[in-house]
């Protein structure tokens, strides 16, 4: 948790219990019975429940300026959902229910105060925290992408200069860095290719300016690995994260998480299955379930199971990517896809060990053959089990072309390089958020 997020969380920790105390005061004109109705332990549990829901619905994303309309809607949804969770918690703990009057008043106060606190803290961070000034050296499509990304994050970064000609930049780099008050220099070139550059960079570093390679900075900023910045597979051998999946203890922890969570979710979702099956059957002709070959760990092929979301025989002619407004998707299929309900049967694939809860999405063999011949390092995504959800899916949900598949591979490789149980839990939380809110632009490589 960074400093900014810590400050925002501390504000929320104050707002939530005070709002309930204020609601009690408004409802009963005094606070004499508040501690009896809301003992300290209960307030702590309630506050943690609110913070968990706020995190789930992305109220702690601070990298960009807030869109006020979106922030208000997002905060309203989070407060309502948290109020429901807190009410259920009181019942679960065999305590007296929260009065409707107190719950409504407290929810209104929390909504307004949390919304206002986000705006105030955003302005404070902008005033007190100066953005890092960055000098970019080199020219490429990825570098232009970085320029656009930095420009969209004025609270964090400011472009001090963009020097496309590295040879010319080397001569006056130290003077430029001092004149523009640069905090960071990012290189999209190999210093060894420019004779005078290494010595200049060393002098710049001695003045306190940080120097970063393009690939490392790109990963930090975009949270994906730029394929254009990697010359050969030796780069992956030198990246420490790629060894995590070969650690037996790590693999066992991930498998245990998969088995426990998928078993619980499979059992919890079973009451929905007859409803979904009936809806699929009534909406269009064809089977309820859909089986399809997919490529998994070590390029082994397995059959994935889903609720059918397309018309029967949608791919009898030839395999093709599903598109944004694909006419093959049925009416009920659009609802199922929007909330990931078509994928519920895949928990069985996870229990069988063919898939993981989190990992690269499994592609069809026909697409894999095409993509591995046209996208460098594509086969590396098969060194881990495919997943129900993944880093690529939550960051770049729509993929229906060669270029979008390349971008999704960059996210997949970032996931493999940086994998940890904490990252898996983060992905699962963001997936749950997408299921609650819904996602408009969801795509995948097949039915």
User: Higher confidence at residue 312 or residue 296?
Assistant: 296
3-class secondary-structure state, position 356? strand
Average the pLDDT over 220-225 and give the result. 88
Give the Cα separation of 270 and 263 in Å (integer). 11
Helices within 185-247 (DSSP H only): 197-206, 214-222, 234-238
Residue range 56-96, pLDDT digits in tens: 887 887 656 667 888 888 899 889 999 988 888 877 766 66
Q: Which pLDDT belongs to residue 319?
A: 66
Cα separations (Å) of 431 from 166, 421, 436, 437?
42, 15, 9, 10
Residue range 248-306, pLDDT digits in tens: 887 888 899 999 999 999 999 999 999 999 999 999 888 999 898 999 999 999 999 99
Assign domain 132-222 to its CATH architecture: 3-Layer(aba) Sandwich (3.40)
Give the Cα separation of 353 and 92 in Å (integer). 34
Residue appearing with tokens 């590295």: 166
Mean of the per-residue pLDDT values of the chain = 84
- The boundaries of every CATH 3.40.50.2300 domain in the chain are 132-222
Q: Which pLDDT belongs to residue 138?
A: 82
Average the pLDDT over 315-342 and give the result. 78
Average the pLDDT over 325-342 and give the result. 85
Percent of the chain with pLDDT over 70: 89
Q: Which pLDDT belongs to residue 440?
A: 44
Please check whether residue 140 is in contact with residue 77, taking contact to mean a CB–CB distance below 8 angstroms.
no
Cα separations (Å) of 33 from 18, 27, 36, 37, 387?
15, 12, 5, 6, 50
Residue range 115-149, pLDDT digits in tens: 999 989 888 877 776 788 999 988 777 788 888 88
Judged against a pLDDT cut of 50, whether residue 442 lies above it is answered with: no
Token representation of residue 302: 């397995």
Residue range 381-393, pLDDT digits in tens: 998 999 999 999 9
Token representation of residue 383: 């060194």
Question: Global pTM?
Answer: 0.76
Query: What b/e sequence results for 378-399 when a residue is b if at least 16 CB atoms lie within 10 Å of its CB, and e otherwise?
Result: bebbbebbbbbbbbbbbbbbbb
Give the Cα separation of 426 and 187 in Å (integer). 30
Collect contacts of 5-10 with beta carbons under 8 A, ≥24 apart.
5/60, 5/62, 7/121, 8/60, 8/62, 8/117, 8/118, 8/121, 9/51, 9/60
Q: Which pLDDT belongs to residue 259?
A: 93
Q: What distance lies between CA 180 and its chain's CA centroid?
A: 34
Average the pLDDT over 24-42 and give the result. 86
3-class secondary-structure state, position 264? helix
**Nearest-10 Cα torsion for 33, 36, 40, 45:** -110
Residue appearing with tokens 């881990």: 384
Give the Cα separation of 41 and 227 in Å (integer). 50
Bridge partners, 289 (sequence order):
307
Please check whether residue 398 is in contact with residue 440, taking contact to mean a CB–CB distance below 8 angstroms.
no
pLDDT category at 239 given cuts 50, 70, 90 is: low
């Amino acid at each position: 948790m960074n400093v900014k997020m810590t400050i925002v969380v501390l504000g929320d920790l104050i707002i939530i219990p005070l709002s309930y105390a204020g609601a009690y005061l408004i409802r009963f004109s005094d606070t004499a019975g508040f501690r009896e109705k809301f003992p300290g332990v209960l307030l702590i549990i309630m506050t943690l429940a609110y913070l968990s829901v706020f995190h789930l619905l992305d109220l702690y994303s601070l990298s960009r300026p807030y869109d006020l309309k979106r922030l208000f809607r997002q905060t309203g949804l989070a407060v309502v959902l948290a109020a429901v969770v807190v009410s259920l918690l009181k019942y679960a703990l065999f305590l007296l229910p929260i009065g409707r009057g107190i719950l409504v008043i407290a929810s209104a106060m929390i909504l307004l105060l949390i919304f206002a606190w986000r705006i105030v803290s955003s302005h404070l961070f902008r005033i007190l925290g100066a953005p890092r000034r960055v000098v970019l050296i080199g020219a490429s499509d990825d570098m232009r992408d970085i320029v656009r990304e930095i420009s969209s994050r004025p609270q964090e970064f400011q472009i001090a200069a963009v020097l496309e000609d590295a040879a010319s930049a080397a001569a006056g780099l130290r003077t430029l860095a001092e004149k523009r008050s640069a905090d960071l220099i990012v290189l999209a070139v190999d210093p060894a290719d420019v004779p005078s550059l290494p010595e200049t960079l060393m002098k710049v570093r001695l003045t306190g300016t940080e120097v970063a390679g393009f690939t490392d900075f790109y990963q930090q900023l975009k949270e994906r690995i730029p394929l254009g910045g990697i010359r050969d597979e030796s780069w992956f051998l030198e990246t420490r994260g790629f060894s995590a999946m070969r650690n037996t203890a790590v693999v066992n922890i991930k498998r245990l998480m998969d088995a426990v969570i998928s078993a619980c979710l499979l059992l919890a979702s079973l009451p929905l299955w007859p409803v979904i099956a009936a809806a699929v059957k009534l909406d269009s002709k064809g089977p309820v379930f859909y089986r399809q070959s997919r490529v998994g760990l070590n390029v082994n092929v397995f059959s994935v199971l889903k609720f059918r979301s397309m018309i029967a025989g949608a791919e009898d002619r030839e395999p093709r990517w599903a598109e944004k407004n694909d006419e093959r998707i049925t009416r009920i299929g659009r609802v199922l896809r929007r909330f990931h309900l078509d994928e519920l049967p895949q928990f069985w694939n996870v229990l069988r060990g063919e898939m993981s809860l989190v990992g690269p999405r499994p592609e069809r063999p026909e697409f894999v053959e095409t993509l591995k011949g046209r996208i460098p390092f594509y086969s590396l995504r098969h060194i881990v089990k495919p997943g129900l959800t993944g880093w690529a899916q939550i960051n770049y949900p729509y993929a229906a072309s060669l270029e979008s598949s390349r971008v999704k591979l960059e996210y997949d490789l970032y996931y493999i390089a940086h994998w940890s149980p904490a990252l898996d839990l983060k992905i699962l939380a963001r997936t749950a958020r997408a299921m609650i809110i819904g996602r408009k632009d969801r795509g995948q490589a097949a039915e």
